[in-house]
Structure 1
Amino acid sequence: MRTRTKWLSALASLAAIASAAVATTPAQAVGPELLPLNVTNNSGRSEAVHLYVLGTDIRSGRLGYVNQAGAFTPWSPGGNPPTPAPDVSIDGPGAGGTATLQVPRFISGRVYMSFGEKLKFFLTPDGLVQPAPWAGGDPNSGILFDWSEFTYNDAGLWLNSSQVDMFAVPHAVSVTGAGGETKKAGELKAGGRDAVIDGLRNQAGWSGAVVSGSDGSVLRVLAPGKAADVGKFDANYLDPYIAQAWNAYTGKTLTVQPFGDRPDVKYFGRTSGNNMNFTDSTGKQVASFAKPSTSNVWGCDGALQAPNDQVVGPIARTLCAALHRTTLDRIDVQPGGGAGDFYQGSITNHYSRLVHQNMVDGRAYGFAFDDVQAQESLVHDGDPRSAGITLTPFSGAAAVAPVVSSGAVESYVPNWNFVLN
């Protein structure tokens, strides 16, 4: 078990950027102070569902939890070793039912949902230890659970399903705005969960990522970085492709245009030795990246660390997305290509490929910067009236009513990955 955790959401930093961008026009709150979040259980399963709303008050930075009525309570200090957190679970809906939670403004966090057993959280003097079922000894490793991630503030609601760490409970997310339009994302195709599981089991070298419980049923599929961390996947799997992509730019130039709304902003990369160096349009060097490891690519960190700036970070996230999708060597203007160009070749992120392939709209959060080119399973509304999480069937037919698909919001929300330290 990890003994320390931080909630790291790019939404907090993006909120600062957004505020700076509209500094001359003060933000005006929209949407209700308490936003109804309807959790509907169309899973077809009979176990009790337990819900948790955990996160950060982005005004104060304090970690805490939200009860069903929408009251935020900061966590009390924990101990070392970590001490059990109080039970803050909310009773979820029974089969075919809906439970309504209230989400207060200025919260950025997660909605956890577990089947059968309640999750076990712990507190340290620094904050909350979240479940990490890929880690040895984690007390939640035998529990079927998942989460969605959200931020609700004066600029509206952002809500996404996440497969960045693992793929476990099929669920769709939605938001309804003041005009009555509902946007939805994250819905699996009929039989999609089984298709992802079977696809990984049948992909050479990837079967270790599929994790089953004591009864033989599949609890989750681990993302490649998490599977590699615990010895269930080749830690150097992507190295040959990384070398191929890095070497491709010893003799040609990579052009990175990281902002869809500012196509005039371009950076130009060439590989020299182990480094890919980038210049701006004046010829000034603005960034340099050492050749990343497989682990760096899976985590979009280390050599590909993306600071919250307007130059190095946007280039890093573009490189990381292209390496996950194995387009970097083939397409020399990035972001480049479309969904049909992604995940080609025998060495690629087959986990993300299969998750995307089995989504109704093709969109998922298969890795940290999957929002590059708006491939993520995210819904946003600047003036929301309600939101939803629908637990969908684990096999067989889908059970989410068709609604209007959500639009791209890539330029506003680049990454929702919450990280355990």
Structure 2
Amino acid sequence: MRSLYIINSQSRSLYYGIGTYIKQLVAALKSSFSQITIVTLYVGVDIQNETSVSMKNDIRYINIPKSYLDSYGRLSHSTNDRRYLHSAYYTLMTYVNEDDENFFHFNYMELGELALWLKEKLSCKIILTVHYMHWSFELLGDVQKLHAVLDAPSNPHEEDNKLFFGCEKRFLQEGADHIIAIARHSYQTLCSLYQVDPSKITVIPNGITDEYTEQSTEDKRMLRKKYLIDESDPLLIFVGRLNPVKVVGPLIDAFKFVLAKHETARLIIAGEGGEEDLKYYLGKASPLWSRIFFTGYVPKDQLYELYAIADIGITPSVHEEFGYVATEMMMCKLPVIVNETTGLKEIIADGVNGTFIHLTNSKEQPETSIQQFSEKIICLLNDKALCTHYADKARDTFIKTYEISFFEQNMIAFYNSLFVN
């Protein structure tokens, strides 16, 4: 029997990309396996205190709780985590038939030790999708700074970054039999920075189920009324976690320049963040709180309504492994402004289906960069024909490249290449 175990983790990432990816993985591969099991690790003791097994729509779910209570926000390599993973390994093995053709599909770089233990015990294949790299968050995607940290870490935080990188490298080189990169730049980074054998890596871009519905002028008018936004107010939207990687601060600074030209403009900042980050960005927005709205997490149905009434979508991140939000905006026929970096510059062609800004790998940006950022926004707000052109081309790019059927076809072909005939 051919069995697939998708290794998941209870974290905020469930709400920001990886959870969606796992659902798409199941949909694509359901007919290719006799049994698919989703194994969720680090389930909080506040949710359940013992391992649970359930079936839903022919998919088996195994939830393995952690035995200690903390304010878990991300995986780490602590002593407690290693003990937990060792315990989770033995728990998982009680549900694995060693005689099956077993595949384990990991989605978190921090779980390399579990993969190595599985390889030691079983004749199986370990697949890892690289959704992110720890250092890209901590160091704002700055490769030069990473090299400096690896050569000579100067404080405990940098020591942690070096530890994380080493663990990731071991997982990639020794634990994973096959690696899925979600963008071309990821493939290049895995080869050059982590020194992974290129033959182990397959590039499969993310896909999105097309849920776009064309809204009439009257529909948009009613939606704006629903959200108390005047029909004539220019509306910008940002979606993502509130942290330095997403460059929310410089976006707010640029918007202040926009208001000098379009005084009724509004900026929606949709996404969650830590308490300190939120305080910082609220301070940045002062005293323009009637023009800048922090919504927190927005459910998908409401988010798509906001996309429908927005004039421009903005993704200014200094690092994106893929660029899921920008692709979602393109699906919704929204003209987009993105930073010319990593995954974002692979999905947008400057001047064709969107436009670039140029921001550096730092929390604060030079005033010239902020000024140029604001000028790009003002240019689009002043040119409705250009907005329409970018929106049409963005939608066309999505349909031809990132609609979910392409992801499904690529994933099925990838797994077919691994199966024993």
TM-score when normalising by structure 1: 0.30
Task: Answer 1 or 2: which has greater strand percent.
Answer: 1
Task: Answer 1 or 2: which has greater helix percent.
Answer: 2
Give the number of the structure with larger relative contact order, counting CA–CA contacts within 8 Å between residues 6 or more apart. 1
Give the number of the structure whose alpha-carbon radius of gyration is greater.
2
